[in-house]
Structure 1
Amino acid sequence: MGQLNYHHLRYFRAVAHEGNLTRAADLLNLSQSALSTQIKQLEERLGHALFERRGRRLVLTEAGRIALDHADRIFGAGEELLATLSQTGTVRQALRVGALSTLSRNFQLGFLRPVLGRGDVDLVLRSGSATVLLEALQALALDVVLTTEPPAQDALSGVVAHRLAEQKVGVYGAPGRLGHASLRDLLAAEPVILPTESSIRTGFDSLVARLDITPRIAAEVDDMAMVRLLARENAGLAIAPAVVLADELASGRLAEAPFGLEIVESFYAVTVARRFPNPILRWLLTGQGASAGA
Structure 2
Amino acid sequence: MKTSGINFRHLYFFRVVAAEGSVTRAAERLGLAIQTVSAQLSALEQSVGKQLLTQQGRRLVPTEAGRVALTYAEQIFELGDRMQEALNEADAGRTRLTVGISDSLPKLIAYRLLRAAFDMKVPVKLICVEREFESLLADLALHKLDVVLTDRSVRASASLRVYNHLLGESEMMLFGRPDLVDRHGGDFPRNLHHAPMLLPTRNNALRGRIDEWLLKHDVRPDVVGEFEDNAMLTTFARDGLGLFFAPAGLAADIEAQFGAVPAGAATELREQFYAISSERRIKHPAVEAIMAANTGLFTV
- Compute the TM-score of the two structures, normalised by the length of structure 2: 0.82
Query: For residue 55 of structure 2, what is the aligned residue in structure 1?
Result: 53
2:188 equivalent among 165, 183, 191: 183
Residue 68 of structure 1: aligned partner: 73
More deviation, 191-200/127-136:
191-200
Q: Is contact 2:104-2:204 (8 Å) kept?
A: no
Give the corresponding residue for 2:35: 33
Q: CA deviation at 1:262?
A: 1.5
* Contact 2:152–2:272 (8 Å) recurs in 1: yes
- Displacement of 1:81 in angstroms is 5.7
Change (3 A) 1:58 1:236: same
CA deviation string 1:60-82 (max 9, x = no partner): 44223213313422541454366
Q: Cα RMSD (Å) of the superposition?
A: 3.1
Q: Among 209, 216, 221, which residue is 2:215 paired with?
A: 209
**Correspondence for 1:152:** 155
User: Quick one: distance in 1 between partners of 2:177 and 2:282?
Assistant: 49
Paired with 2:282 and 2:178, the residues of 1 have a C-alpha distance of: 51
Match of 1:40, as an amino acid? S
Closer/same/farther in 2, CA of residues 15 and 91 from structure 1, 3 Å limit = farther
**Residue type at the aligned position of 2:230:** M
Alignment of 1:1-294 (within 5 A): 1-60=3-62, 61-77=66-82, 79-80=84-85, 83-84=88-89, 89-90=91-92, 92-115=94-117, 120-154=123-157, 157-179=160-182, 180-196=185-201, 198-242=204-248, 247-250=253-256, 253-273=259-279, 277-291=283-297
In the TM superposition, what is the alpha-carbon distance from 1:252 to its structure 2 partner?
Answer: 8.1
Q: Residues 185-210 of structure 1: CA distance to partner in whole angstroms, max 9, x if unpaired?
A: 32115221122264432222222222
- State the shift of 1:56 in Å: 3.1
Q: 1:149, CA displacement in angstroms? A: 0.9
In the alignment, structure 1 segments of 5+ residues that lack a partner are: none
The C-alpha deviation readout for 1:148-182, integer Å capped at 9, x for no partner, is: 11112447543111112212111101223334231
Answer whether contact 1:168 1:241 (CA < 8 A) is retained. yes
| Range 231-240 or range 13-22, more displaced | 13-22
Change in CA separation of 1:48 and 1:108 when aligned onto 2, cut-off 3 Å: farther
Q: Deviations over 1:34-87 (max 9, x none)?
A: 2112112112323433333333333344223213313422541454366557xx
Q: Deviations over 1:120-164 (max 9, x none)?
A: 433322222222211111111211111111112447543111112
The 8 Å contact of residues 171 and 257 in structure 1, kept in 2 or not, is answered as yes
Structure 1 residue matching 2:78: 3-state secondary structure: helix
State the secondary structure of the residue aligned to 1:48.
coil
The 8 Å contact of residues 170 and 260 in structure 1, kept in 2 or not, is answered as yes
Q: Partner letter of residue 256 of structure 1?
A: P
Partners of 1:37 and 1:237 lie apart in 2 by 66
Equivalent residue letter for 2:138: E
Tell which deviates more after alignment, 34-43 or 64-73.
64-73
SS at match of 2:208: helix
Q: What is the identity, as a one-letter code, of the residue corresponding to 1:174?
A: R
How many residues are aligned here?
291
* Distance of aligned partners of 1:274 and 1:251 in 2 relative to their CA distance in 1, 3 Å threshold: closer
Q: Which amino acid aligns with 2:200?
A: P
2:288, 2:236 → 1: CA distance?
A: 36
Identity score, percent: 29
Pair 1:23–1:222, CA change in 2 (3 A): same
Structure 2: segments with no counterpart, 5+ residues:
none
Alignment partners' CA distance in 2, 1:58 and 1:206: 56
The 2-side partners of 1:101 and 1:26 are apart by 42
